[in-house]
Chain A
Amino acid sequence: MSAAAENIYNFAFIDEDSKREVRRQLLKAIALPGHQVPFASRDLPIGRGWGTGGLQITMAIIAPSDTLKVIDQGDDESVNAVNLRRLLTRTTGVATTTDTQQASIIQTRHRIPEEKMRADQILVLQVPMVDPLRWVEPNLERATVMHGEADYGRMWVYMYESIIKAGDLRIATQYPVMVAGRYMMDTTPIPRWDVMRLHNADTLFLFGAGREKRIYAVPPYTTIEPLEFEDYRFKTEYQPNQRCHRCGATNTFLTGHFVKATTQDEPGHWVTSCSDSSYCDKQLVAQGIPEHTL
């Protein structure tokens, strides 16, 4: 068997001491909802910023009996999702799926799957930017002290000013929330669409940032309150007339694609479809469209 020579990786790639480190810090993160716990992030054969924080969480918790789903931008087939999935399956042998319902662990960037996740599932989010206070306090040590003292006044002022000024939306995909009434947490990089889906959910959410070496968590049944003001309420990206051009869904988070001109009668134009591609496919199959034609 030539495979024997290739049996070189530890189960789930990282060594057992690294797993234990992540495991210990995840327990702290759960006991301190929304608090960023430092961890000794390891180098992985994937560039930082491409999901190494989430990847280390998945590697620390995954067991041979798990069924894994990996998505990026809501899509199971994006290059990044495919690479992460390949590394994980090669080093664990676990079953994989694109079906949200079938997965026990879902690793994701940008999205929470459209289908409601259950209590027996874990969502692992890859986080590029951790601290919501970076807008008002770039020094990480001082920001840590501010979190410790729940000193969030400057952040509230910043939020209010940026909303008034611009109607604003630098914070569109990094909307700050209060977790369990105590810690302010960034929701990067999920859209506002998904923010309230963290609130009192059945599922455990684990967040990992490899570059910034931080782990945090939102346990199930935990309150999530977006920063909002009496005169400026938190709003998602929902548009009253929105519709997926593939499956017709009117209640999903959509992404735009440009369709190139084919003939002179058919000029180039933008269409929108579900960002959760597996959900979109499922709707089409339910409408009687054969799966192999998707």
Chain B
Amino acid sequence: MNTAFRTPSAFDAFCTETYRIMLNCLARPGTIGQLTQPTFLGAPAPITNAHGAVPANMYALGACMSLIDQETNFVLGCDNAWLLQGHEATSWVHVRTNARRVAPQDAQFAYLWDVASLALIPQLPRGSLTFPERSTTVFCAVPEISESGSWRLRGPGIDGSASFGTDEKTMRQVGFIQQTRTQFPLGVDVFLIDQAGKCVGLPRTTRIELIAAHSVRGG
């Protein structure tokens, strides 16, 4: 077969590869996908706050950046506050994607630097009954995702129930995600991505419970 196509750029190839992992994670909530790190992109400067200098999780920010361009907009959150238009990290993402930074209530995409920022989710749009797709997709960097643990999921894409685990800090923030799935079809779709690039998709259809560790082991 004669082929006639250009070899994709590193970024374009990264976007294609990353997309299939995200697609699978969102279609099968609880399935852990392994993202790659777009090292060729570099990284924005770490953000210094009370916890020290916090670097971006480039697996998670890269996944978010693979979906945005001049047609779309975004907002970044860190330490439970939105980063402003003029913030260095906001400019860093804008320059590389052409996507515009907007106010949280208009955002199509949000990257959250840390789990404390999950508390910002109530400020994001959930869509309307006529246009439920006009809602935010959130990428949140979390410390750790593991195969088994207290997160118990049910809903479309899941054969019965699914489970996975995270660190305690992420578990304490679960309420902010649960609150986005009380008014289906309105809602917010969330990707949790850990420091090693492990990714879990939580579409708004996924009902989340945290269950005690002993009942996880019991099956």
Interface residues of A (CB under 8 A from B): 3, 6-13, 16-17, 19-21, 23-28, 30-33, 35, 37-38, 60-63, 89-93, 119, 144-145, 147-149, 180, 182-183, 200, 204, 217, 219-222
Contacts and interface: CB of A to CB of B under 8 A. Distances in A.
B28 interface: yes
A17 B4 contact: no
B189 A222 contact: no
A16 B187 contact: no
Contacts of A8: 4-6
A166 to B, nearest CB: 33
A12 B132 CA distance: 29
B213 interface: no
From B5, B6, B8, B128, name the one whose CB has the most chain A CB atoms within 10 angstroms: B5
B22 A27 contact: yes
A148 B129 contact: yes
Contact of A92 (B5, B17, B129, B135): B5
Q: Which 6 A-B pairs have the closest CB atoms?
A: A148-B129, A31-B203, A28-B133, A148-B130, A219-B157, A222-B156
A183 B133 CA distance: 14
A32 B185 contact: yes
B36 to A, nearest CB: 13
A63 B3 CA distance: 15
A90 B67 contact: no
A149 B70 CA distance: 32
Contacts of B158: 221
Given A9-B4, A10-B5, A20-B67, A219 B27 contact: yes
In this complex, which of B2, B108, B156, B205 has the most chain A Cβ atoms within 10 angstroms of its Cβ?
B156
A35 B4 contact: no
Given A7-B5, A60-B19, 10 more contacts: A8-B4, A9-B5, A16-B69, A17-B70, A30-B27, A30-B157, A31-B26, A61-B23, A62-B16, A222-B157
B110 to A, nearest CB: 14
Nearest to A215: B133
A24 B19 CA distance: 10
B22 A63 contact: no
B15 interface: yes
B184 interface: yes
Contacts of B26: 27, 30-31
A102 to B, nearest CB: 17
Interface in B10-32: 12, 15-17, 19-20, 22-24, 26-28
The listed residue with most B CB atoms (<10 A of its CB), out of A16, A200, A221, is: A221
B212 interface: no
Contacts of A222: 156-157
A182 B157 contact: no
Interface string B83-99: 00000000000000000
A35 B186 CA distance: 12
A149 B72 CA distance: 27
B159 interface: yes
B67 A35 contact: no
A37 B185 CA distance: 13
A84 to B, nearest CB: 14
Interface in B112-150: 128-133, 135, 137
Contacts of A119: 28
A244 to B, nearest CB: 32
B73 to A, nearest CB: 12
B5 A221 contact: no
B3 A221 contact: no
A40 B67 CA distance: 15
B198 interface: no
B100 interface: no
Most buried by B among A16, A28, A220: A28
